[in-house]
Structure 1
Amino acid sequence: MDMKNAFLNGDLSEEVYMQPPPSYDHPPGKVCHLQKALYGLKQAFRAWFAKLSSTISKLGFSSSSFDSAIFIRKTYKGYTLLLLYVDDMIITGDDLQGVKEVQNFLYTQFEMKDLGRLSYFLGLEVSYDSKGYYLSQAKYAIDLLCRAGLTDNKTANTPLETNVKLSPTDGTILKDPTLYRQLVGSLIYLTATRPDIAYAVFYIVSQFMAAPCTSHFTIVLRILRYIKGTLFHGLHFSAQSSLELKAYSDADWAGDPTDRRSTTSYCFFLGDSLISWCSKKQTIVSQSSTEVEYRVLTDTTSELLWLRWLLQNMGVSQSNATTNIYCDNKSAIQIAHNDVFHERTKHIEIDCHFVRHHLVSGKLCLISVPSADQKADIFTKAHPPRPSKLSAKLAIKVSSHATTNIYCDNQSAIQIAHNDVFHE
């Protein structure tokens, strides 16, 4: 659903004055005392959110403690969820009557527009069938390619060349970095459904936003050519999948050639569906691979706790009280099970205590996994072309709706497009 003129519904809690519009006839020396929020006010966002929160609370909704943009109502019939992004909202749940009740209630309170069953939301294209849901950003990617001027047919098999390493001084500094920053910013949003480019975008090209060089821009173009060849790839959420949460944790020790910082990477699956992932540079230099893995385990444990709380808040309870974290570093796993610290591990004692606390309390279970089966490995380095293995690891699939509709009001042009016989 879409809210019309959302910010105009916000109530102001402060006294705010503004100069009258130029065309408004008003007494000289007088100003307007605002009773409601207006677009452009710094208070408008908070006022609108407070207005909606107080309104739907009358229907029994409460904001989630773990994500304030999600409003939840639980009744004996089931759960009803409302996800808000400024003036756009998604309403769902297993209580179909409750969903309809929320719609009717919102109609009476605000000027709303029903956009029907979810198919497009903030650049995300949603399609579904009996097998589950499929999320992609094909249209968004096409617009991005047009903005970059990539109109030829060249594509790339991978986002990066194998073992690519970049430094801040590679190449000549771009005279105008505006396009580079726009493209990288758009690529960051594209990773919402394309985890296969997360390492290339978050770890490689994003760190050169301040002073990008020609070599960095070349990498951005290669990522875009890879996207061009995999335009309809996206995430698939299986309807037959279980709701068991599991995580994979991995790191690349001292992978950055400039400052020798390491890479943090993890990914979470709800059954067979990828729901959360991370690829970022660590903030400090680690002295050993075990230390790196422990810092990643700390971040993974924090994300695990938040996801468990959020899922429980949404009515998705875990069948097991323990969540498995798969790690390919046996030293890190052994130290987590051993509460004896010596000189070699003293500097990572806080991380050890944090992971071990939740390990002992039964919140998580550390399981050793071979590096070949480590699904988070793709977020730590560039890989050679392995499309089938990549799809199997991250549940990335090609949309069954790989055709994009083009609407045209000239029937002659459409007929010629369907007919390969050309005349004068």
Structure 2
Amino acid sequence: MKDLGTLSYFLGLEVTSSSDGYYLSQAKYASDLLSKAGITDNKIVSTPLEYNAKLTPLDGESISYATHYRQLVGSLIYLTITCPDISHAVGMVSKFIDAPRSVHYAAVLRILRYVKGTLYHGLHYSSRSSLELHAYSDADWAGDPTDRCSITGFCFLLGTSLVSWHSKKQDVVSYSSTEAEYRALADTTCELIWLRWLLADMDAPQPTATPFYCDNRSAIYITHNDVFYECTKHIEIDCHITRQHLKKGNLKLFSISSADQPADIFTKSHPLGCFRDLISKFQLASSLPPRV
């Protein structure tokens, strides 16, 4: 074994430490990706997806450079390690890697132009942040226009620092927004329990119930209600997962308005003002470009 000193660069991940904490970014990796994509002009966009963008498998015409599309999408997936603001957009375009079309490729180029405008953005982990875990869960009901599956989004903040996030299409179709939200609650609960165990192993135990924020009051009510009605019997297993840990005291559910729900950014596209408000909650910071 050899001591390589203070960590500064590892597999495309740039780490800067100071008295204020740590700053994680992938500026060089992103810059190399832009060169690979052939984006050499100065054109940038303010959001990774157009507002209310809905992509389907038959949009546009077939393209002959499908391999190039897959390479770009794969690289963008790796870039989400420090860029949670593109997670939903990358998830959208990754659904078409088997048979990409011109509209899908245009969406990838838009994401890359957004990355170009936020090249030196990254995650800041403050040394003054508390070690209290907070969970946020959301779902976009029937968000996929092709099969009408909903999209789950969640994120976890350790104090003010973003430590975990997720944006993924659900496996089954939900009959209601409440059902979609409850499936998201179940996924978030599983991640919550794992993070509590991990933090305990890292000597940062969570002695109290983790605050868990959801913007669907019906889903919260079902968690507290022991009676299953006809409309909720088919999600009984998911209900038990969240309810079990609620009773154990591992989590405590709170209602939050949709406007203040940071996990909403992982479920759908937003207009510019709303998009900026949401990403401001994640302590995304910008470092200075390296001196030449």
| Shared fold (TM-score, shorter chain, > 0.5) | yes
- Residue aligning to 1:383: 270
Q: Which amino acid aligns with 1:403?
A: P
Corresponding residue to 1:279 among 148, 167, 191: 167
After superposition, what is the alpha-carbon deviation per residue over 1:344-390, rounded to whole angstroms, capped at 9, x for unaligned? 11101111111111111111111000111101000011112236523
Q: Once the 2 structures are TM-superposed, how far is the Cα of residue 154 of structure 1 from its aligned partner?
A: 0.5
Matched, 1:152 2:49: no
Give the SS at the match of 1:344: helix
Corresponding residue to 2:235 among 330, 345, 348: 348
Greater helix percent: which structure? 2
Q: Answer whether contact 1:336 1:356 (CA < 8 A) is retained.
A: yes
TM-score normalised by length of structure 1:
0.67
Q: Once the 2 structures are TM-superposed, how far is the Cα of residue 321 of structure 1 from its aligned partner?
A: 2.5
After superposition, what is the alpha-carbon deviation per residue over 1:135-176, rounded to whole angstroms, capped at 9, x for unaligned? 000000000000000001100111000000010010111113
- Residue aligning to 1:217: 105
Q: Which amino acid aligns with 2:83?
A: R
Q: Answer whether contact 2:141 2:180 (CA < 8 A) is retained.
A: yes
After superposition, what is the alpha-carbon deviation per residue over 1:174-233, rounded to whole angstroms, capped at 9, x for unaligned? 11311100000000000000000000002x100000000010000000000000011111
Distance 2:260 2:109 in 1: 30
Q: Which amino acid aligns with 2:202?
A: M
Give the SS at the match of 1:168: coil
Q: Answer whether contact 1:157 1:385 (CA < 8 A) is retained.
A: yes
Give the SS at the match of 1:256: coil
Give the SS at the match of 1:128: strand
> 5 Å matches for 1:36-115?
106=1, 112=2, 114-115=3-4
- Residue aligning to 2:289: 403
Q: Once the 2 structures are TM-superposed, how far is the Cα of residue 115 of structure 1 from its aligned partner?
A: 2.4
After superposition, what is the alpha-carbon deviation per residue over 1:123-146, rounded to whole angstroms, capped at 9, x for unaligned? 111112221111000000000000
| Segments ≥4 residues shifted beyond 3 Å | none
Corresponding residue to 2:245 among 335, 344, 358: 358
Q: Answer whether contact 1:391 1:397 (CA < 8 A) is retained.
A: no
Corresponding residue to 2:215 among 312, 328, 347: 328
Corresponding residue to 2:25 among 116, 121, 136: 136
- Unaligned stretches of 5+ residues in structure 1: 1-105, 107-111, 407-424
- Residue aligning to 1:237: 125
Which of 1 and 2 has higher RCO (CA within 8 Å, sep 6+)? 2
After superposition, what is the alpha-carbon deviation per residue over 1:222-260, rounded to whole angstroms, capped at 9, x for unaligned? 000000011111100011000000100000000111100
Distance 1:390 1:344 in 2: 33
- Residue aligning to 1:201: 90
Q: Answer whether contact 2:262 2:279 (CA < 8 A) is retained.
A: no
Distance 2:226 2:188 in 1: 20
Q: Which amino acid aligns with 1:376?
A: A
- Residue aligning to 2:80: 191
Equivalent pairs, count? 291
- Residue aligning to 1:312: 200
- Unaligned stretches of 5+ residues in structure 2: none
Of the structure 1 ranges 382-391 and 278-287, higher mean CA displacement relative to structure 2 is found in 382-391
TM-score normalised by length of structure 2:
0.97
- Residue aligning to 1:170: 59
Distance 2:79 2:23 in 1: 15
Distance 1:276 1:292, change over 3 A: same
Distance 2:277 2:244 in 1: 35
Distance 2:82 2:113 in 1: 17
After superposition, what is the alpha-carbon deviation per residue over 1:36-92, rounded to whole angstroms, capped at 9, x for unaligned? xxxxxxxxxxxxxxxxxxxxxxxxxxxxxxxxxxxxxxxxxxxxxxxxxxxxxxxxx
Give the SS at the match of 1:275: strand
Distance 1:333 1:391 in 2: 25
Q: Which amino acid aligns with 2:150?
A: S
Distance 1:237 1:166 in 2: 34
Distance 1:150 1:392 in 2: 27
- Residue aligning to 2:16: 127
Q: Answer whether contact 1:247 1:269 (CA < 8 A) is retained.
A: yes
Q: Once the 2 structures are TM-superposed, how far is the Cα of residue 391 of structure 1 from its aligned partner?
A: 3.9
C-alpha RMSD of the superposition? 1.0
Give the SS at the match of 2:213: strand
Q: Tell which structure's C-alpha radius of gyration is larger.
A: 1
- Residue aligning to 2:181: 293
Matched, 1:372 2:259: yes
Give the SS at the match of 1:220: helix
Matched, 1:392 2:280: yes
Give the SS at the match of 1:211: coil
Q: Once the 2 structures are TM-superposed, how far is the Cα of residue 122 of structure 1 from its aligned partner?
A: 1.2
